[in-house]
Amino acid sequence: MYKVLLVDDEYMITEGLKKLIPFDHWNMEVVATAEDADQALDYVREYPVDVVITDVNMPGKTGLQMIAEMKDLIPDAAYIIMSGYQDFEYVKTALNLRVADYLLKPVNKVEMGNILEKIQHQIQQPSQELANRLIHDDISEEEFCRYIAGRNSLWIGIAKEKKGFISSSYQVLGQNLQLFISDQEEEAMIEKAFEPPYKEHFHQFKDLVERSLFYGATPLNQDEEVFHYYEPAYRVIMQGNIQQILEELDWLEKMILEKTPKVSLTKQLFIQFLMDVFHLFEYLQGDDLADVVKKVQEAATFSEMISFIQEELSRFLSHYRMNENVASVLQVISRDYQKELSLKDISQALFINPVYLGQLIKRETNATFAELLNKQRIKAAQQLLLSTNDSIEDICYKVGYSNVGYFYKVFRKLCGKSPKTYRLQVMTEQAEDE
């Protein structure tokens, strides 16, 4: 609500205006009255207002003198002058002070209403501009503090309709809502106290809104280290056991609902899960993969996203069964990738010809044994690069390579960059997101 101050040395005038004019119709409320200019000036020094309606002739300072001083205290306020004297000099001075309008007593209700409607529109313009700039992160902390100076408490919230003294359309997860800032608690979908540093808390609130809408009634935590939990899931995928993959999806779902990370991280995690499954089984290509990614990204809620992923996996896995020998090879790679592995040794353990086993692996996964082993090792190396401070040489040995130069070559081939560049780039991106 916009704050209105009434100033008149006649008590009946201020009380009459409060009863005569439906200020709330223009989103305004009378917060105080004053009997003279000095009393009014003392009030706005402590409690800035948006609209001042004042008499001209008062004991001591005139209304025009008061306005001239108030301009330094509340430069953005709108001023309406009332007078029982139709004096051109008063009107000319008032216009020089950029007063909103000049009314003769007794005040006409319709005329006053027209002026208040015009003022409401004028006040809303800078507020709307500020709201749009705030949402697009185009306003400094200092500028925002100047704008809200004098307001004792602030609330930030999201609602289906405009509220507060700042409100702007806000698109989130397919919904068109109103993000608002108010100096009082409102009825809203989500709302919390808004305190400095405002820009930091504004970003936190936008994240809160997105996660609240996405996860629904789930209690919110916020663990951003979810990819540390993904390695066991990846090992299950690499084993090629269809039933275990479905069980792993259930585990990931429960884990995410417990951690409730940023929505972008959750979607990225499940896209990675789908891509790893589909790449292993060579199920989707090109445009199909892009379509799957798009649908996950567009999911408005966690349950909607999980339902889509379960449907995609069930449709694929219902008619797919991996060769048992190939599944055994994948299980060995997933479990023992740090060791020195060879297709010949594994084929002997399975009592199968190594050439034939290699052909089966290629047919089932569209990759060679060496390619699958390298993929597993590099995946493990990526995890260690991001979760430890180990040297690249130590990581090379930990994931099963004995030659650092060869490790660099394979890593660059699969990741498009060196291990050092990969670590720096991802760490930098994570720091920017925080």
- State whether residue 235 is helix, strand or coil: helix
Distance of CA 202 to the CA centre of its chain: 9
pLDDT score of 88:
47
Q: Which helix (H) or strand (E) holds 193?
A: strand 190-193
Q: Which two tokens stand for residue 235?
A: 């090992």
Per-residue pLDDT of 258-268, as tens digits, reads: 999 999 989 98
- Sheet with 175-182, edge to edge strand ranges: 166-172, 175-182, 155-159, 190-193
By C-alpha distance, which of 321, 299, 323, 324 is closest to 310? 299
pLDDT for the residue 430: 64
- Preceding amide of 197 cis, omega within 30: yes
Residue 73 is encoded by which pair of tokens? 């205290």
What is the mean predicted confidence (pLDDT) over 96-120?
80
* Cα separation, 183 vs 321, whole angstroms: 62
Question: According to the model, what pLDDT value does residue 1 have?
Answer: 77
Cis peptide before 219 (omega within 30 of 0): no
The residue assigned the tokens 């809200």 is 148
| 2-125 placed in CATH 3.40.50.10190 | no
**Tens of pLDDT, residues 382-413:** 889 988 889 999 999 999 999 999 999 999 99
Evaluate whether 378 touches 417 at the Cβ level (below 8 Å): no
The residue ranking higher by pLDDT, 366 or 319, is 366
What confidence tier does 368 reach under pLDDT thresholds 50, 70, 90? Answer: very high
State whether residue 434 is helix, strand or coil. Answer: coil
Q: Given this model, what pLDDT does residue 182 score?
A: 87
Q: Using CA atoms, how far apart are residues 165 and 162, in angstroms rounded to an integer? A: 9
Q: How far is CA 431 from CA 348, 360, 425, 434, in A?
A: 48, 44, 10, 5
pLDDT at 282: 65
Domain chopping of the chain, boundaries: 2-125, 139-215, 226-433
**Could you give the CA distance from residue 147 to residue 166 in angstroms, rounded to a whole number?**
11
Query: What count of residues does the chain have?
Result: 434
What percentage of the chain exceeds 90 in pLDDT?
41
Give the whole-angstrom CA distance, residue 35 versus residue 13: 10
Most confident of 77-81, 248-252, 410-414: 410-414
- Calculate the dihedral angle through the C-alpha atoms of 122, 126, 128, 133, rounding to the nearest 10 degrees: 170
3-state secondary structure of 181: strand
pLDDT digits 0-9 by tens, 416-431: 999 999 988 887 776 6
Reported as type and span, the H/E element at residue 30 is strand 28-34
CA neighbor of 270 nearest in space, from 300, 238, 292, 286: 292
Answer whether CATH 1.10.10.60 is correct for domain 226-433: yes
Amino acid at 309: I
User: How far, in whole angstroms, is CA 351 from its chain's centroid?
Assistant: 56
- pLDDT surpassing 80 at residue 311: yes
Average pLDDT value for the chain = 85
Which segment of 40-49, 52-61, 67-76, 422-431 scores lowest on mean pLDDT? Answer: 422-431
228, HSE (Cβ side, Cα atoms, 13 Å) = 10
% pLDDT > 70, the chain: 88
Alpha-carbon distance of 365 to 340, in angstroms, equals 21
Q: Does residue 240 come out as left (phi exceeding 0), alpha (psi in the -120 to 50 range) or beta?
A: left
Question: What's the rounded Cα separation, in Å, for the pair 279 and 275?
Answer: 6
Task: Give which of 322, 135, 153 is closest to 245, Cα–Cα.
Answer: 322
Q: What is the pTM of this model?
A: 0.56
